[in-house]
Amino acid sequence: QVQLQESGPGLVKPSQTLSLTCSISGGSLNNNNYYWNWIRQPAGKGLEWIGLIYSSGRTKYNPSLRSRLTISIDSSKSQFSLELTSVTAADTAVYYCARGGWNTAGDYWGQGTLVTVSS
């Protein structure tokens, strides 16, 4: 059974960088049949796709975040990561990692982690 777990600071100051890691167990990041997503959800609102990374390291980003966003992968550690620079209160959300594959972007999800941007 594949499991994903997000980790990182729950509080980030405005203008600083938000950094999160997603750790995978029960599966391999090297499997070319899958890709790895970050998705977020502000309180009481809908889901927003942030970006994805393939095992090759190729990425696709949401254009609305591209200038501030870096997603990276470390297959040796079974982890992929998110860095979002110059954060504001608008970046406050629950952040999820999820596995995508054939014809779906989210067959397995992490439990989510709340990140609050506040001074």
Partner 1 sequence: DIQMTQSPSSLSASLGDRVTITCRASQSVGNYLSWYQQKPGKAPKLLIYAASILPSGVPSRFSGSGSGTDFTLTISSLQLEDFATYYCQQSSSAPLTFGGGTKVDIK
Residues near partner 1 (CB under 8 A): 37, 46-49, 52, 60-64, 96, 100, 102-107, 109-112
The residue among 16 and 48 lying less far from partner 1, judged by its C-beta, is 48
The residue among 16 and 54 lying less far from partner 1, judged by its C-beta, is 54
CA separation for the pair 28, 79 (Å, rounded): 10
Least spacing, CB of residue 61 vs partner 1, in Å: 8
Least spacing, CB of residue 49 vs partner 1, in Å: 4
CA separation for the pair 116, 104 (Å, rounded): 29
- What one-character DSSP code corresponds to residue 45? S
CA separation for the pair 95, 97 (Å, rounded): 7
Q: Are 106 and 41 a contacting pair, CB within 8 Å?
A: no
Least spacing, CB of residue 64 vs partner 1, in Å: 8
Least spacing, CB of residue 55 vs partner 1, in Å: 17
In 3D space, the residue among 80, 82, 75, 94 whose CA is nearest the CA of residue 22 turns out to be 80
